Structure 1
Amino acid sequence: MSVLDIQHRDGVAYLTLARPEKRNALSLALQQELSDALWDADERTDIHCAVISGQGTDFCAGYDLAERPPRDETKRGVKTIDDDIWQLERQQRLRMTIFDMHKPVIAAIHGRCLAGGTDLAFLADMVVAADDATIAFPPARDLGSLPNQMWLYHCGPQWAKRLLLTGDSITGKDAAQIGLVLKSVPADELTAEVEHLAQRLAMIDPDLLTTQKRIVNLGLELMGARTLQRLACENDARGHRAKAADTFRANVRDKGLKAAFAERDDKFGASFVDPNAPEHGK
């Protein structure tokens, strides 16, 4: 059963994460389907760009934490730190298709874009968000680090640290203000906004689109962006060994995911960052 809706029209590949009952949580199968669909769009001569969006109430709530590697003694699990890094790198290679493919990719964020959802979205060439979208990496509070690190290149070191050191959230509107996303629009205008942008790209020769994307991404590589992605997996595996991560996993085992999230997040209260307001006014 497919977990990705694929539509090709008017020179654009519209790829929609289709696990709304799981808030489009990223399973290995979903990431594989998305990677395959992106490479297919990259190869097709009638496609100029791709748009990634999500079905239902959210863009993507993160990785599917209920998914576990099959128990097979002949294959890697997650017993050692190298196993952990290997598993993280396998999934990262699928997501890096967004960065590596020649044609441009637009991410359309609505609802919640959390944890792994940000790993996916921020690899896109342009990110357009609904004003009321919620963007955050809550696992920074108790589980690990980002296995993809593009925040630094979008919003700079200080805002990346402000958001990642606390796991606090930011709205799509405020994310646009600090440069984390390209722009934001009212939620009911998001689809039209992204389609209009995609149609402008569809009027350009794909080979020319490639030249613009590649030179910018090569510039990012010269700034270390691609190497940093590889290091991000190792850094996340390190975070998985923190005492807080052990506590989180025990809470999931004993109380369930919902209760574990509540125990982690409730004490932070309202955790939205306002770039224009004092911290003590929250």
Structure 2
Amino acid sequence: MRFETLSYATDNRVATITLDRPDHFNAIAHGMPREIRAAVEKAEADPDVHVIVVRGAGPGFCGGYDLKHYAERKGEISGSQDMPWDPTLDFQMMWRNTQDFMALWRATKPTIARVHGAAVAGGSDIALCCDFLIMAEDARIGYPPARVWGVPTPAMWVYRLGPQMAKRMMMTGDLIDGREAARIGLALEAVPEAELDDAVERLAGRLRGVPRNQLMMTKTVVNQAYDNMGLNNTQMFATLFDGVSRHSPEGIWFRERAQEVGFKQAVAERDSGDPIASQVSKRLPVED
């Protein structure tokens, strides 16, 4: 197929999926989740491919959904309905995206996220759905919309970090760098960005020498353990709550604030740590 938001290439038993919207920090555009899934399926069907690498073109891995575009636009948009909202429509839309990203996790072949720059919000969803993360030391990863206006629908923080650190990342919306990601076990390795390709190649080189059937069996064993822990049910809750977070009083306030003062200023207020919750819940304006 012809891809519009990414590129696909193969070499030496490795399929490389490159998110290819560098002028927009590889923001998740309409159709990108579907194309990621299609690219994974293409690699799955190729008997010469043993490993799948996901990377971003330009200055970073992926800046997530284009929330500035969605938050500042007037009227009803995808992901932010006029009230009363229909949660089933929201769930269907985001559940498709979640399952598309999870194609990376469910592929029978190992998947590696090569993260430079940043993997933020929805970009972190894509990275965390891969089996392995290799990050540049100064790269950043996190889910800032968890403070207001989002819940990470794949919920992979829980399964990668355990309850305490997952709660820290999901409740604070903090961004951490590659060094900390490696220290807490989120990333397999963190290296200077100049050495990132070599680090990915070292891991891919070890994996591509393993028979495809052996890779499938060992990956399935690990994934089955997480399925037994309720991964799918957790993702259903997370996807439903993601829609709720965009239509809660605080979520509606955030979008109205973004339209009033711009997305950047609204995010700065949201992430400042100031105790604005009482004002938000009452839908009162926040003083500059």
Distance in 2 between the 1:139 and 1:252 partners? 13
SS of 1:129's equivalent in the other structure is strand
Amino acid at match of 1:12: V
What is the SS of the residue equivalent to 1:8? strand
Indicate yes or no: 2:224 matched with 1:218.
Answer: yes
User: Quick check: 1:143–1:248 contact (8 Å CA) kept in 2?
Assistant: yes
Q: Determine which of 36, 50, 55 is the counterpart of 1:53.
A: 55
Deviations 1:74-115 (A, max 9, x none): x99844122111111121121111122211100111111111
AA aligned opposite 1:13:
A
Q: What residue is the counterpart of 2:102 in the other structure?
A: 96
Give 4+ residue runs of structure 1 displaced > 6 Å after superposition. none
Identity %: 36
- In the TM superposition, what is the alpha-carbon distance from 1:252 to its structure 2 partner? 2.4
The letter of the residue matching 1:60 is C
Q: Aligned-pair RMSD on alpha carbons?
A: 2.2
Q: Secondary structure at the match of 2:59?
A: coil
- Matched AA of 2:98: Q
Q: Distance in 2 between matches of 1:188 and 1:11?
A: 23
3-state SS of the aligned residue for 1:28? coil
Structure 1 residues 202-255: Cα deviation after superposition (integer angstroms, max 9, x where no partner): 111111111111110011111112221222101212222332211211122233
Counterpart of 2:36 in structure 1 is: 34
Shift of the 77–258 alpha-carbon distance from structure 1 to 2, 3 Å rule, reads closer
Matched residue SS, 2:31: helix
SS in 2 for 1:230: helix
Displacement of 1:141: 1.4
- Of 6, 9, 13 in structure 2, the residue corresponding to residue 7 of structure 1 is 9
Mapped pair 1:133 → 2:133: no
Please give the alpha-carbon distance, in whole angstroms, between the structure 1 residues aligned to 2:150 and 2:176: 19
The answer to whether structure 1 residue 209 and structure 2 residue 215 are counterparts is yes
Instruction: Report deviation, 1:11.
Output: 0.4
Find the counterpart in structure 2 of residue 265 from structure 1.
271
2:231 maps to amino acid: A
Instruction: Compute the TM-score of the two structures, normalised by the length of structure 1.
Output: 0.87
Give the structure 2 partner of residue 180 of structure 1: 186
Tell me the secondary structure at the aligned position of residue 32 of structure 1. Answer: helix
Deviation at 1:67, TM superposition (A): 5.9
State the one-letter code of the partner of 1:59.
F
Aligned length: 264
CA deviation profile, 1:142-198 (whole Å, cap 9, x unmatched): 112111101111111101111211111111111111112222111111111102211
Confirm or deny: 8 A CA contact 2:80 2:247 kept in the other structure.
no
Counterpart of 1:233 in structure 2: which amino acid?
T
Q: What is the match of residue 279 of structure 1?
A: none
Give yes or no for contact 2:5–2:29 (8 Å, CA) kept in 1.
no
Q: Does 1:198 align with 2:198?
A: no
AA matched with 2:5: V
Counterpart residue type for residue 196 of structure 1: R
Q: Secondary structure at the match of 1:14?
A: strand
CA distance in 1, matches of 2:183, 2:80: 41
**Cα separation, 2, equivalents of 1:191 and 1:251:** 41
CA-CA distance at 1:259 after TM superposition = 2.9
Return the letter of the residue paired with 2:56: G
Matches within 5 A, 1:115-134: 115-134=121-140
Tell me the residue number matched to 2:261.
255
Question: Are 1:132 and 1:171, in contact at CA under 8 Å, matched by a contact in 2?
Answer: yes
Q: Does 1:245 align with 2:247?
A: no
Q: Distance in 2 between matches of 1:27 and 1:67?
A: 11
Deviations 1:110-152 (A, max 9, x none): 1111110111111111111111111111101111211110111
Partner residue in 2 for 1:274:
none
Gaps of 5+ in 1: 269-282
